[in-house]
Amino acid sequence: MDRYDPPDTPLSVLHHDHEILVVDKPAGLLSVPGKLPGLEDCLMARVRGAFPEALLVHRLDRDTSGVIIFAVTPRAQRHLSRQFEQRRTEKSYIAHVAGRLEGAGTVDLPIATDMENRPRQKVCHERGRAAQTGWEAIGAEDGATRIALTPVTGRSHQLRVHMLALGHPILGDALYAPETTADHPRLMLHAERLRLRHPDGGRFVTFTAPCPF
């Protein structure tokens, strides 16, 4: 990991009730503490500073911004975690990728850890885990394309690896497209929408965070 300099921004709460807490994570902030010294500041720590009862459910990559949900009770944590594990949540992302991309499609390529280049992941047909990502081009901007991404699975770095495999890496990605970071100081990937069943009663609820780019 490069030098960790998390943004000093106030906690952005999108929703809070007796079972769940939803926040808009800024880019550049770890979801949970890192293993090395100096990586203690993270979204989980900031959330618990304001909501000590908050419990982890899922994560976003450090450099990805957007919607992330926490449980407020152990029962809600079990309920939400089960939805993520069973792929019953709906997640939508916005990204800017290099080059011109038109139409829509699905990337279905297995992903595994690149053991010689951790924390990188890679497409690996021999030992990779199944991974699927839907994509749709929604705009063109100066040699780049704005796309909507809908992951079916939730592998580590899935969206970043799949876009790279298409030949259209996400701009600002220091790990997979470092040549683009001079013009894009942040990873151009944002978790815009999350839809799932509320732990209390099971009704569908949808949370959104405006894309900052």
Burial label for 35, CB within 10 Å (0-12, 13-18, 19+), is exposed
Distance CA 166, CA 153 (A): 17
Q: Which of 47, 45, 15, 9 is nearest to 28 (CA)?
A: 9
Distance CA 125, CA 135 (A): 21
Specify whether the backbone of 83 is left (phi greater than 0), alpha (psi in -120 to 50) or beta. alpha
- Give catalytic residues, as residue numbers: 61
Residues 160, 173 contacting (CB under 8 angstroms): yes
Q: Which of 47, 46, 158 is nearest to 107 (CA)?
A: 158
